[in-house]
Structure formats: structure tokens, C-alpha cells
Structure 1
Amino acid sequence: MQHALLLRTAALALVLAAGAVPVRAEESSTAEQTIDVMNTLFGKHAGIRANHAKGAVVEGSFTPSKEAASLSKASLFKGPAVPVTARYSDATGVPTIPDASAKANPHGLAVRFKLPDGDMDVVTNALKFFPVATGEEFRDLLTAVSKSGPDAAKPTPLETFVASHPAAAKAGGTAKTPTSLARQIYNGVNAFFFVDAAGKKQAFRWRIVPVDGEELMSADEAAKQAPNVLMDEIRARLAKGPVSYRVEAQLAEEGDPVNDATKPWPDDRRSVNMGTLTITKAVADNAEAEKQLLFMPNALVDGVEVSDDPLIDARVQAYAVSFGRRSQEAQ
């Protein structure tokens, strides 16, 4: 059985098994607590993701560059084009959020590469860096937001949290509303390692860059848009022709942190074009396609490895909890 399928099956089995037995609040995991507070913030919507609830599933292909194989022995970079399934998304767990709302930032793009030796997932969004460094801190940030309504005493829990977590106040401002989901740069805030044929490792972070360049809306322009402007636009755009991106890897240098997603690497770090992602069409039944998809940041193939960034495992655990719950709710 393929490695990526094993990961997803095991994660779902664990979540479903845990769901069969009531768990006291003090015994719940950080991932469960994170999803619980997302449900508090965004409401519970049966069968829907706890975060990045609104999305569009699309299909296409990836063609590796000539240079890619020198950095990684992964099958993704060895041969001809491979098929992909991808999903654009808005932030929050609100399935009806207006696409151009500031609260819909950061928009996300998750990509599944369908390879002979197993599927490989890449999960990105428009943030240039993450607001916190660990899963526990992310839970605490969301909890602080949930307790900082208009009637909260000053300083609010959110103000107190931000005062001790500088990146939390800055990260959100790095993601703006695009004129199209095809005209946004998507970043992988977590570090991974390429492994080449000789066993040499190179730390990197993903960047998915539109061939036509990034194009953003002003706040005034965004306020005038229809609720489904971006989801409708990407489907209409694809009906007329493909959308292409450069899949880039920003390479770390000695001393660059690989275990802290709040710390971006300097802009002058070398960025290698690993290939071209071409999106060709939207799926026919978006709702059904979304039910089946679980993108896992650690679903990798030989030649790409996780770093010791704790957020990678935190994301995996939270995605598994969300998937398990929405799968049960949909039954």
C-alpha cells in the first residue's frame, strides 16, 4: 500500500477510535482542543473543515525542471509530468465567508502530486510566516481571540498574548486579498529537507508563484466585491484556459532556523525553480471532492523529508481530528 495512503488511513483510524469513547476536557489532545476552539470561533458546520472551510477543488499536472533532480532524488523530479489534485481555500471555518473579506486571508493552496511510489502533499498559504511556532501556541492564540470580544476587559487576552508573541501581530498583515486565486503567491511556512542521490540534505521552504505575477486588491476594492468573487473567478478562468505557477524552493543557508515558522529566511536566499504547476480544470462535483480530500504536510515520498519544525506534526494531528469529525458528521 502506498506510504501516503497508510498515513491517512492510520490517522483516520486513530481519530475514529478515539471518537468512540468520551474524552474528558483535561484528557483531550492539543489538536482536539484546537479544533474545539475553531468551532467556538467559526461555528460547527456538519461535514465541513474546521478551518479553510470554503474552497474549490481543481486538477492539473506538474512538470519538473531540469535542475530539480540535482537537489532531490524524489520521483516527483525525475520524469515526465505527473497529475495533481489541488484545492484553493479561504481562511476560517465559515463556509459562506465572502472571498474578498479581510477575514478570508490568508487564502490557501494545497496540492497533491500523484506519483508511482505514493502521493505527496504540499500545503501552502499566502502568509510569509506563521504567527506562532508550536501547536500549543496556536491553540492559545485562538483561545485568546475567542475570549477577546468587545466586552472583554483590558488588556484583552488577545492583547496579552500578542505582547509576548511578536510574530502574532505581524503575520496576518503579510497576506492580502488577490484579484484572483491565480494571481497570489503561496508560501510553505514550514521547512523540509531535500535528499539527493548521494544522501546530502538541503533545508528548504516551498513557494508557489504565479507565472503571470501576483496581483492584489486594495482594501476599498475588496470591500466592493461579490461574496463568491474569487471562487467564481477561478472556475471561470479555468474554463477559458490553464493557470500556471512556478513551484520554487527557497534554500536555507547555515544558521537559518528550520524549526520556527515565525522566522522567515532572508529574501536573498537562493530560490530554485523546481518545476511548473499547471491547473487545467475545476472538478465537476466540488462538494463531493472536498469530502474525500485530506492533505497531510508529512505525506512525502523518498527524497523529501520533514524537518524538526513542531508545527508540521501539530498540523497533521489537527487535520486528522478535523477530517475524522467531518467524516463522522457526514455519515
Structure 2
Amino acid sequence: MLPDPPPRPRYGPYVAIAVIVAAVAAAFGWTAGWLAPGRLTPARMTDAIEATSTTPYPGFRRAHAKGLCVSGQFEGTPAGAALSRAGVFGPGSVPVTGRMSIGGGSPYGLDAQARVRSMALVLRDGEGGEWRMAMNSFPFFGVPSAEAFYEQTRASAPDPATGKPDPERMRAFVARYPAAQRFAAWAKTAPWSDSFASTQYYGIHAFRFVDDGGDERVVRWTMRPQASFVEMSAAQREAAEGDYLQDELRERLARGPVRWDMVATLAAAGDDTSDPSTPWREDREQVVVGTVVLTGAQDQATGACRDLNFDPTMVPDGVALSDDPILAARAAVYAQSFDRRQREVAHGADVSGAVPVEAAR
């Protein structure tokens, strides 16, 4: 039986930033498997991610343990087909399997208290092509390299004596990295939306779209919600039920489909394609290449998303990876984490996610 869900966090400002960074660590559990064996490996990076949680939850994802399976379709646009020969941009629509989640390693996380929200998708065309995406609600990554990310993850781990991250250690880390300072500023000032459906999700990394003639354009994409943005106040977040975001999305879907436009931002000369912590200028050309249409939701314990590895380096013909080394490093750690939880499930781990009776009292 899983332990009781943890109480709501009530830390000071720097510890709060540490918790947010830990959520980002969960969201981006990446490192370079090709680094020197004595320095950093997928197993060591996964171990570091696990250490950011005071309680282990066997069988659940190390990152974004709490989530909801979703399903629907993707409708490409002619503008998308002009940029990429990927089958998902062709006429008609293709099926979508996905997962909406919050940051953190606990399946009992409080939805409305989670600063980071995520959308993960698998798009399958009719010709065997498959495209996996993993996107988050922050517009840029908090560190410029895999080494810095590992350092960030270690700094976010709770102190054994207190069970909380050490604010001094986090202050020191943030002081060393301008990207971490930008992320901390975003975390403290960006408004919180009131729904998964009204949240914008960012692909963060650069990719290459390849058209029918073999010409390439470097892009970053976002999923821009068609639902109107409504800000959720701190008081509303505090008063919300633990499963608020999941329940609210189910209610929306009961009334009709929920949509996001997939918007590709085209790189221009001088844009950094290798560093996801460096934002591109806001005046770059943007193209709506398709629309994600969600029509249903299922519990993750039994839904089609449960056993999917949303490795965003799995792309179809017509999409290629960029020179971003963090993106290139993700696959090894995703596979490491996936293998661990699959072994735990095979050995009887309970992944129902149901709160134990004594915890619900």
C-alpha cells in the first residue's frame, strides 16, 4: 500500500523556488549518456531524479507521476504540409494518444499547486509514421547544458535532516546560471491558468522540418490553447481540490472537444538552435501547422498512455532533430526510467494511483 499523500508545502521563498526547480528536474530527466562513464550516465541521472522525492512510488513515472490519459486527433494544415512532408500534416486527421500531467514525483500531487504542467502526445499517421512529443508550460529551459541540469537536480534534492531542499544550496546554484535566474523570475511572476485546457505548452527544443523537396527549416513549436485564458489566484489554488485540473478537464470534455493550435516558430539568422534555455525573439515568423483536438480522458492506471514512453526524439520522416545536445541526450534517460518502472510493475507494484483509505480520512 502506498504511503499517505504529503501535506501541502509551506516553505519560504527560496525553498519554494527549489521545489519548482525540482519539478522542472522531473519534467526534464535528461543527461548525456555519451559523457565519460565516470562523470554522468543515464542511470546516475535517473538516480538523481529519484532523490528529489522523499518517498518512492514504485511503478510510477519518476517525472510527472500524476497524470491523466487523453485521446483525440490531430488535424494538419496546408501550411504545415508546405513546411514538412510528415504524414500528420496531410489531408484529414490522425489519431492522438496523450497524457496531461503535473510536475513532481508523487501520484498524490495537488493539481492546483503544481507550477509545471505538461502535455505529452503520440501522433500516428496511416503510413506507420509516429511522432512523440513532450511539452511543458514554461517557455524556456532553466539550464543550458546536461551538466548544469544534473547540478540543478542535485541541488533540488531534500536535505535528509529536514526533508526539504536546502535554500542556501539552491541560492548558490541559481546565482551561477543566468538561465536559472530567468526561470526563477518566470516561476514567480507568470500568471497561473485555471485549466489544463487554457495552458500553453512549449516544445522548448529546436527541430528541423523537411519538406517534399528536401529543404529544411529549423523550428520550435508550441501548443496554443483555443480556450480563453483565465487566471487562477493564489487563494483559488489554495482552496482547490487535489484533483482539480483533472476533474475540470473531464468536465470540459463532457461538453465538447478541447483544442490547441500547433504553432511553429521559424528560426532566423543568429537564433541559437542548440540551447533550449535561450528564448528566440518574439517577432519571429509563426505558422499554424495543425490543431490538436482532444475528445476523451481516461484514468492513467488503465488508459492507453500508461505504458507509453513519450520520448520526444522519436520523430517521423519529415521531422529531424537539431544540434541541441540536451534533446539528443533525453532518449537514454527516458529509457532508463521507463525500464525501471516496468520492472516494478512486473513485480507487483500497485499503479492504480488510488489514495489509501486511511489517507482519505
Match of 2:221 in 1: 206
Q: 2:316 aligns with which of 301, 315, 322?
A: 301
- Return the alpha-carbon distance in structure 2 between the equivalents of residues 49 and 153 of structure 1: 21
User: CA, structure 1 residues 150+166, in 2 after alignment: closer, same or farther (shift >3 Å)?
Assistant: farther
- Return the alpha-carbon distance in structure 2 between the equivalents of residues 214 and 182 of structure 1: 9
Tell me by how many angstroms 1:119 deviates: 1.3
User: CA, structure 1 residues 79+317, in 2 after alignment: closer, same or farther (shift >3 Å)?
Assistant: same
Partners of 1:148 and 1:157 within 8 A in 2: no
User: CA, structure 1 residues 275+94, in 2 after alignment: closer, same or farther (shift >3 Å)?
Assistant: same
Task: Give the stretch that moved more between structures: 52-61 or 132-141.
Answer: 132-141
Match of 1:18 in 2: none
User: CA, structure 1 residues 313+107, in 2 after alignment: closer, same or farther (shift >3 Å)?
Assistant: same
Let me know the Cα RMSD of the aligned residues: 2.1
Q: What secondary structure sits across from 1:320 in the alignment?
A: helix
**Cα displacement string for residues 267-304 of structure 1 (whole angstroms, at most 9, x for unaligned residues):** 11111000111000013x52133431111111111110
Tell me by how many angstroms 1:154 deviates: 9.2
**Cα displacement string for residues 88-110 of structure 1 (whole angstroms, at most 9, x for unaligned residues):** 01001111110011xx2210001
**Is 1:98 matched with 2:134?**
no
Flag the structure with higher helix content.
Answer: 1
Match of 1:39 in 2: 50
Which structure 2 segments of 5+ residues have no match?
Answer: 1-36, 347-361
**Cα displacement string for residues 71-98 of structure 1 (whole angstroms, at most 9, x for unaligned residues):** 1111111221000011101001111110
**Is 1:83 matched with 2:130?**
no
- Return the alpha-carbon distance in structure 2 between the equivalents of residues 182 and 153 of structure 1: 31
Match of 1:48 in 2: 60
- Return the alpha-carbon distance in structure 1 between the equivalents of residues 286 and 95 of structure 2: 24
Tell me by how many angstroms 1:136 deviates: 2.2
The percentage of aligned residue pairs carrying the same residue is 35
TM-score by length of 1: 0.86
Q: What secondary structure sits across from 2:49 in the alignment?
A: helix
**Cα displacement string for residues 88-144 of structure 1 (whole angstroms, at most 9, x for unaligned residues):** 01001111110011xx22100011101123211121110110001222221110101
Match of 2:344 in 1: 329
User: CA, structure 1 residues 268+155, in 2 after alignment: closer, same or farther (shift >3 Å)?
Assistant: same
Q: 2:180 aligns with which of 168, 171, 175?
A: 168
**Cα displacement string for residues 192-236 of structure 1 (whole angstroms, at most 9, x for unaligned residues):** 010111211111111001112333312222112111100111112
User: CA, structure 1 residues 231+189, in 2 after alignment: closer, same or farther (shift >3 Å)?
Assistant: same
Q: What secondary structure sits across from 2:51 in the alignment?
A: helix
Match of 2:197 in 1: 182
Match of 1:30 in 2: 41
The one-letter amino acid of 1:257's match is D
Which structure 1 segments of 5+ residues have no match?
Answer: 1-25
State the aligned residue count. 303
The one-letter amino acid of 2:66's match is K
Partners of 2:268 and 2:284 within 8 A in 1: yes
**Is 1:157 matched with 2:169?**
yes
- Return the alpha-carbon distance in structure 2 between the equivalents of residues 226 and 58 of structure 1: 21
Match of 1:6 in 2: none
**Is 1:288 matched with 2:298?**
no
Q: What secondary structure sits across from 2:120 in the alignment?
A: strand
- Return the alpha-carbon distance in structure 1 between the equivalents of residues 322 and 156 of structure 2: 29
**Is 1:232 matched with 2:237?**
no
- Return the alpha-carbon distance in structure 1 between the equivalents of residues 330 and 244 of structure 2: 28
Tell me by how many angstroms 1:148 deviates: 6.2
- Return the alpha-carbon distance in structure 2 between the equivalents of residues 139 and 254 of structure 1: 31
Tell me by how many angstroms 1:325 deviates: 0.4
- Return the alpha-carbon distance in structure 2 between the equivalents of residues 177 and 70 of structure 1: 35
